[in-house]
Amino acid sequence: MFKGAGVAEAPLVTVIIASYNHAPYIEASIGSVLAQTYPSVELLVVDDGSSDDSVERIRGLQARYGFDFRAQPNQGLARTLNDCVARARGSLIAPFGSDDIMMPDRLAIQVAYLADKPEVGICAGNIQSIDGEGRVIARRERVRSFRRLSFEDVFDSDIPGAPAPTLLFRKEALDRVGGFDPEIRLEDLLIALKITRAGYFIDVLPDMLAQYRVHETNTYKNRRFMIDNVLKTYDQFRDHPSYARVCARFLNSMLLKCARDDKNLAWELVREIPFRYWNMKTVRGLLRCMSPLR
């Protein structure tokens, strides 16, 4: 753990980095936490069964900086996060990707914002996309303005959500909803829905708070995984009157993404979308499915 002096009144933030086979990136990720301008930080790093040399790299940094590090057989991200939250001493929790980078003022900005807003269970912000070498991917820049998200906004609207690399949780909000669900391997959407349904808001700041690294093993590139886990997430809210429409909207969106380069999966999605929810995305997806691969 590292902590500044003379700021005992500053709320402690626990940053959790669950590392899994991100050896090329883990040192930059940890280094960005160590470089935060916010003075009251507890860093918990867990290697979740990596097969590369992540553990050796992390131990090298631990020897220099003294943060809490544990290596374990693979348990999955949700279980690892829950274990870390249970032993966290901070009132604010920042799970952080072992391949991403925090902007230096990230935690200072978020903690200051949350100081007088107990209704906000999650604070987030904008991200900047970088490639595997740390170069900014200019075409992916999407700086968006402030927005406050309710449950309905997260579940049933087109308002952009909260970028995962910037999430800062109130520990009380996580505890109130029972933490992360180990049965759902796409943690961010479900925890956002659970916390907003419990009555909290998600506030997304206009500030650029983190760099999101785009590389070959990003979760979003595994489309079948994304589809299965998002639908499992929505299934927990099947009592909502918009449940069927929300599922169909998501399937239509994924159909467009799959239709160019995974036509077998795209045709599966077409069969899953009820005809009453067909729209122009469905038609465009069908046209792409019927066009030859390039």
What are the tens digits of pLDDT across the range 152-175? Answer: 999 998 899 999 999 999 999 999
Q: Which residues contact 278 (CB under 8 A, 6 or more apart)?
A: none
Per-residue pLDDT tens digits for 228-257 = 999 999 999 999 999 999 999 999 999 988
Question: How far apart are the C-alpha atoms of 254 and 166, rounded to whole Å?
Answer: 24
User: How many Å separate Cα 291 from the centre of its chain?
Assistant: 34
pLDDT at 72 over 50: yes
Q: 251-273 pLDDT, tens per residue?
A: 999 998 898 888 999 999 999 99
Spatial separation of the C-alpha atoms in residues 269 and 259, rounded to whole Å = 10
pLDDT at 188 over 60: yes
In this prediction the pTM is 0.92
Write the pLDDT tens digit of every residue in 7-53.
Answer: 447 999 999 999 999 999 999 999 999 999 999 999 999 999 999 99
| Number of Cβ atoms within 10 Å of the Cβ of 265 | 17
**Average pLDDT of the segment spanning 184-203:** 95
Contact by Cβ (8 Å): 144, 204: yes
* Mean pLDDT calculated for residue range 111-126: 97
Q: How large is the angle between the packed helices 280-290 and 263-272, nearest 10 degrees?
A: 150
Give dist(CA 99, CA 111) in Å, integer.
23
Separation of alpha carbons 230 and 107, rounded Å: 29
State mean pLDDT over 71-89.
96
Query: How many angstroms separate the CA atoms of 133 and 25, rounded?
Result: 9
Domains of the chain in start order, with CATH, are 2-213 (3.90.550.10), 219-290 (no CATH)
Position 271, amino acid: R
DSSP string, 190-259: HHHHHHHHTT-EEEEEEEEEEEEEP-TT-GGG-HHHHHHHHHHHHHTTTTSTTHHHHHHHHHHHHHHHHT
Cα(76)–Cα(30) distance, integer angstroms: 20
